[in-house]
A and B are shown apart, each in its own frame.
Chain A
Amino acid sequence: MNVENTKAQMRKGVLEYCILSILNGKEAYPSDILEELKNAKLIIVEGTLYPLLTRLKNTGLLSYRWEESKSGPPRKYYTLTEVGRGFLTELDSTWKELYDAVHKTTK
Chain B
Amino acid sequence: MKKTITINISGVIFNIEEEAYDILRGYLDRLSKNFTDSDGREEIMGDIESRIAELFQVRLGDKKEVVSDSDVKHVMDTMGKPEDFGMEAEEEQPKSKSYSTEHGSSAKRRVYRDTDKSVIGGVCSGISHYFGWDPLVVRLILLVLFLGMGFGFLLYIILWIIIPAAKTTAEKLEMRGEPVTVENIKKKVTETLNNFTVSNKMDGEFHYQHARSQAGKASDALVDVLGRLFGFIGGVLGFFFLMVGLILVTIVLCTWYDPTILQFGNDTWNMQWAEVNGLIFDSRSQGNMFFAGAMAVGIIPVIGLILLGAKLLFRWDIKGKPVVPALIALWLIGLGLLVVTGISLGKEFSQPGEYVEIGKRMSSEVPLTMHIANGEAGQDIRSRNHWVGNFPEEYIEVDGERIIGHYPRIDISVNEESLEYVVKIYKKARGFTMGSGDQRAENIEYPFSFSEQNELILSPVFTAPLKDRFRGQHCEIEILIPVGQRIYISEEVQNFLGNVMNPTYYSRSELVGKEWLMTPEGLVLSGSMPLIEVPEEEI
A residues with a Cβ closer than 8 A to B are 2, 4-5, 8-9, 12, 30-31, 34, 44-48, 50-55, 58-60, 71-76, 83
Are B80 and A73 in touch, CB under 8 angstroms? Answer: no
Interface residue SS majority, chain A: helix
B47 touches A30 (CB 8 A): yes
Determine if B383 is an interface residue (Cβ-Cβ < 8 Å). Answer: no
Complex Cα–Cα for A9 and B90 (A): 10
Contact, CB under 8 Å: A45 / B81: yes
Question: B10: nearest residue on chain A (CB-CB)?
Answer: A73
Bound complex: CA of A74 vs CA of B11, how far in Å?
Answer: 8
Roughly how many angstroms separate A70 CA and B40 CA in the complex, as a whole number? 27
Q: Which of B40, B47, B87 makes the CB contact (< 8 A) with A58?
A: B40
| CB <8 Å contact, A46 and B51 | yes
- Interface contact B54-A47, CB-CB below 8 Å: no
Q: A12-B91, A59-B210, A60-B210 are in contact. Are A44 and B80 (CB under 8 A)?
A: yes
State whether the Cβ of B536 lies closer than 8 Å to any Cβ in chain A: no
Q: In the complex, A20→B15 CA distance in Å?
A: 37
Query: Is there an interface contact between B79 and A47, defined as CB atoms closer than 8 Å?
Result: yes
In contact, B91 and A60 (Cβ under 8 angstroms): no
Are B53's CB and A73's CB within 8 A? yes
Beta-carbon contact of B51 and A48 below 8 Å: no
21 of the cross-chain contacts (CB-CB < 8 Å) are: A4-B169, A5-B87, A5-B169, A8-B88, A9-B91, A12-B92, A31-B54, A45-B81, A48-B85, A51-B39, A51-B85, A52-B88, A53-B47, A54-B40, A54-B43, A55-B92, A72-B53, A72-B54, A73-B9, A76-B47, A76-B50
Contact (Cβ within 8 A) B12 A72: yes
Query: How many Å lie between the Cα of A12 and that of B209 in the bound state?
Result: 25
Number of interface residues of B (CB under 8 A): 37
How many Å from the CB of A72 to the closest CB on chain B?
5
Known: A5-B169, A30-B51, A47-B48. A73 touches B78 (CB 8 A): no
How many angstroms from the CA of A5 to the CA of B53 in the assembled complex? 30
Any chain A CB within 8 A of the CB of B257? no
In angstroms, Cα B81 to Cα A50, docked, is 13
**Inter-chain contacts of A31 with B (CB < 8 A):** 51, 54
User: B40 to A83, Cβ gap below 8 A?
Assistant: no
When each residue 16-45 of chain B gets 1 if its CB lies under 8 Å from chain A and 0 otherwise, what string results? 000000000000000100010001100110
B57 and A55 contact, CB distance less than 8 A: no
CB within 8 A of A2: which of B57, B80, B85, B169? Answer: B169
Chain B 84-115 per-residue mask, 1 if CB under 8 angstroms from chain A, else 0? 11011101100000001000000000000000
Known A-B contacts A12-B92, A55-B39; A45 and B44 likewise in contact (beta carbons under 8 Å): no
Contacts of B194 on A, CB cut-off 8 Å? none
**B39 contacts A54, CB within 8 Å?**
yes
Q: Is the CB of B206 within 8 A of A72?
A: no
Contacts of A44 in B (CB 8 A): 80, 84
Is there a chain A Cβ closer than 8 Å to B205's Cβ?
Answer: yes
For residue B51, which residues in chain A have a CB less than 8 angstroms away from its CB?
Answer: 30-31, 34, 46, 50
Given the contacts A46-B51, A46-B80, A47-B85, A55 and B40 also touching, CB distance less than 8 Å: yes
B10, A51: Cβ atoms closer than 8 Å: no
Task: Please pick, from A45, A71, A74, A76, the residue contacting B78 in the complex, using a CB distance under 8 A.
Answer: A45
